[in-house]
């Protein structure tokens, strides 16, 4: 699964586009986050980490297809 | 309602204001966010804005539609800057035009407040000796 990373999350993962291995075709957002936290423990130090799926904020129970456009959204600070 | 929603390197404030002018509107309310030289008592050298551009534009469009549903506004402009920004540079322009001022004030306030909460844009501040990403919302 390709995962975009921005801001502080990009610094932690070391890349703006991670090639992240997932075994199943579908994975729940909360399970994906657990896998990400295991690989990149520093992500747990962020005040929050949202996941977007196909350009929309996803809930913890959203099912993600490995071909969806997924992104790591740390706290935003526009404006 | 006509709207302009953009993310660009440099915001043309004159053009943004010009596009809000409408013959039926007696009020144009604009907000311009700019880079200041001090944050939390630390001297800021410059800022860098990173955007998830596709999603940011979609969220800004959603906010524009919410504002248009709540207030009778005839023109709406939301522009956010990206890339390197120096002290005093404009980084965000919000503007609405309505028949009377109250609706434009309220709509513009709503748009900038919500933009800061939900639009995927990140600000990195650089001081004299280090840089840090700002975690503003949530």
Residue in A4, A57, A76 nearest the CB of B137: A76
* Cβ contact, residue pair A78, B52, below 8 Å: no
- Whether B64 is in a domain gets the answer yes
Q: Does B85 touch chain A (CB under 8 A)?
A: no
B100: containing domain: 2-130
d(CA B15, CA B20): 9
Residues A58-68: tens digit of each pLDDT: 999 999 999 99
Which residue stretches of chain B are H helix? 13-18, 53-70, 101-118
- Whether B93 is in a domain gets the answer yes
Backbone CA torsion sign across B63, A11, B128, B53: negative
* Cβ contact, residue pair A75, B56, below 8 Å: no
DSSP B39: E
- Whether B138 is in a domain gets the answer no
| Cβ contacts of B91 on chain A, cutoff 8 Å | 79
Q: What backbone phi and psi angles, to 5 degrees, belong to A64?
A: -105, 130
Minimum CA–CA partner of B58 in chain A: A55
Confidence of residue B138 (pLDDT cuts 50, 70, 90): confident
Domain count within chain B = 1
Provide ipTM, 2 decimals.
Answer: 0.95
**pLDDT value at residue B27:** 97
Confidence of residue A52 (pLDDT cuts 50, 70, 90): very high
How many angstroms away from the CA of B90 is the closest CA of chain A?
10
Per-residue pLDDT at B40 exceeds 90: no
Which one has a higher pLDDT value, A23 or B91? B91
Residues B63-121: tens digit of each pLDDT: 999 999 999 999 999 999 999 999 999 999 999 999 999 999 999 999 999 999 999 99
- Whether B48 is in a domain gets the answer yes
Instruction: Give CA separation, A73 vs A9, B87, B131, B135, in Å.
Output: 7, 26, 19, 11
Q: A-contacting residues of B 24-83, CB under 8 Å?
A: 33, 49-52, 54-56, 58, 80
Please give the structure tokens belonging to residue B60. 């800004």
Instruction: Give CA separation, B12 vs B49, B81, B91, in Å.
Output: 17, 10, 11
The neighbour count for residue B49, using CB atoms within 10 Å, is 23
Beta strands in chain A (DSSP E): 2-5, 17-19, 26-28, 50-53, 56-57, 63-65, 70-73
**pLDDT value at residue A23:** 87
| Cβ contacts of B116 on chain A, cutoff 8 Å | 76-79
How many angstroms away from the CA of A79 is the closest CA of chain B?
6
What's the number of CA atoms in the CB half-sphere (13 Å) around residue B45? 8
Minimum CA–CA partner of B33 in chain A: A79
Residue in B58, B92, B135 nearest the CB of A78: B92
**pLDDT value at residue B95:** 98
- Whether B135 is in a domain gets the answer no
**pLDDT value at residue B7:** 98
- Whether B136 is in a domain gets the answer no
Q: What is the CATH number of the domain that holds B90?
A: 3.90.1170.40
Percent of chain B clearing pLDDT 70 (strictly above): 100
Average pLDDT value for residue range A50-79: 97
Confidence of residue B1 (pLDDT cuts 50, 70, 90): confident
Q: What domains can be seen in chain A, in order of their start residue?
A: 2-73 (3.10.20.30)
- Whether B137 is in a domain gets the answer no
Residue in B116, B135, B138 nearest the CB of A78: B116
- Whether B70 is in a domain gets the answer yes
């Amino acid at each position: 699964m390709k995962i975009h990373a921005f801001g502080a999350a990009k610094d932690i993962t070391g890349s703006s586009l991670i090639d992240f291995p997932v075994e199943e075709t579908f994975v729940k957002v909360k399970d994906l986050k657990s896998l990400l936290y295991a690989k990149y423990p520093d992500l747990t130090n962020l005040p929050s980490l949202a996941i977007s799926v196909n350009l929309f904020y996803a809930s913890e129970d959203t099912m993600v297809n490995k071909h969806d456009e997924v992104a790591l959204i740390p706290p935003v600070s526009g404006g | 309602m006509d709207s302009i929603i953009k993310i660009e390197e440099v915001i043309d404030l004159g053009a943004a204001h010009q596009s809000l002018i409408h013959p039926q509107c007696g009020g144009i309310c604009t907000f311009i966010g700019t880079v200041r030289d001090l944050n939390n008592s630390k001297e800021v050298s410059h800022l860098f804005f990173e955007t998830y551009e596709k999603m940011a534009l979609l969220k800004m469009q959603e906010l524009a539609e919410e504002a248009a549903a709540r207030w009778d506004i005839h023109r709406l402009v939301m522009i956010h800057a990206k890339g390197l920004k120096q002290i005093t540079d404009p980084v965000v322009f919000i503007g609405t035009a309505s028949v009377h001022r109250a609706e434009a004030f309220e709509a513009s306030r709503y748009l900038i407040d919500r933009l800061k909460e939900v639009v995927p844009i990140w600000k990195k501040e650089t001081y004299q000796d280090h840089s840090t990403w700002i975690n503003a919302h949530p």
